[in-house]
Amino acid sequence: MIPHSEQPVLLLIDDSPAIHRLLTFKLKNDGLEFLAAYSGIEGCELAISQLPSLILLDLSMPGMNGFDTIRRLKDTPETMGIPIIIISGSQESADKVLAFELGAMDFVTKPFDIHELRARIQSAIKLDRLMNMLEQQAQIDGLTGLWNRTHLDDRLLAEIESVRRKNATLSFVICDLDHFKKLNDSFGHPAGDAVLETFAAILRREVRAYDVPCRYGGEEFAIILPDTTLEEAKIVCERIRVALEKETWPIYPEMHATASFGCTDVGIGGTVAPDEWLKAADHALYDAKHSGRNRVVLYDANTAAPPESKDGDEGTDLKLAS
């Protein structure tokens, strides 16, 4: 999901008020929204909260200099992909080399020609948009239009890190279509595809704009729910479960589809590792499957049973059989 707004947002990190005034005036007709930071620390905070399209960064600033600012931006999951153009009075080749090694996209020397800087800014924004489009296409499931497993892995890590810093809430769900193989065998693969597409449409309809529904693989799906408690996640999943249970397919009037859900707000052993969150949700899904299917189960570390092969069902990590 591309975080940048349609109007490009330019974050200028420079301790000189004169540079801020100059660029705001010279670029006021370029269709840019401006954010101003006068220190590296302030710039990093703004970058994380606002996710600008592009950052212009001065190297020589008191406190956290430009090099340290790049390091922090590139080490932070939310901001590591934002392109950075250095604007600096330094003519030293070593400074340019280090800036590029740390991840800067371009380097403009002060005093700069405003026409050249404008061209470099527009080029960086266009390139970033193209890269975002290509990356987005590579992370979208072709059948359902949901995010795929690659995006899920990256996004879950970022959300867990964000929760740890902000002390916020986060819930994670793995859901699986019940008896999907039997459905395919009985009605054919086009019917199975119709169920997958319909379930994906229900997920998109029932979650918020900033939630992250994904196709985990096969008939398995996952949902990342930021700012959501475990009980709130259960309400969302019940809504989705009921919607699918009530769904009908005119072309396949005898077909009936349901889903099981496993929800967690913590990783196995209380860890922040994404793999442990996946395992925790998988434990709950295992319990949902083995207690009758078509239900929502919350992860409980005290009662969780390991998802192992039993009576034809396996945990998600072992390619859950429906």
Give the start-end residues of each E strand in 1-139.
9-13, 33-37, 54-58, 84-88, 106-109
What tokens were used for 313?
């069902």
Phi, psi of 232, rounded to the nearest 5 degrees: -65, -35
Q: Do the Cβ atoms of 299 and 286 come closer than 8 Å?
A: no
Other C-beta atoms within 10 Å of 184: how many?
17
Torsion of CA 307, 164, 5, 206, to 10 degrees: 40
Nearest to 175 by CA among 226, 82, 245, 269: 245
Q: Do the Cβ atoms of 56 and 114 come closer than 8 Å?
A: no
Distances, alpha carbon 123 to alpha carbons 28, 82, 91, 278, in Å: 17, 14, 23, 40
Phi, psi of 94, rounded to the nearest 5 degrees: -60, -35
What tokens were used for 37?
């930071």
Q: Do the Cβ atoms of 139 and 254 come closer than 8 Å?
A: no
The catalytic site residues sit at 219
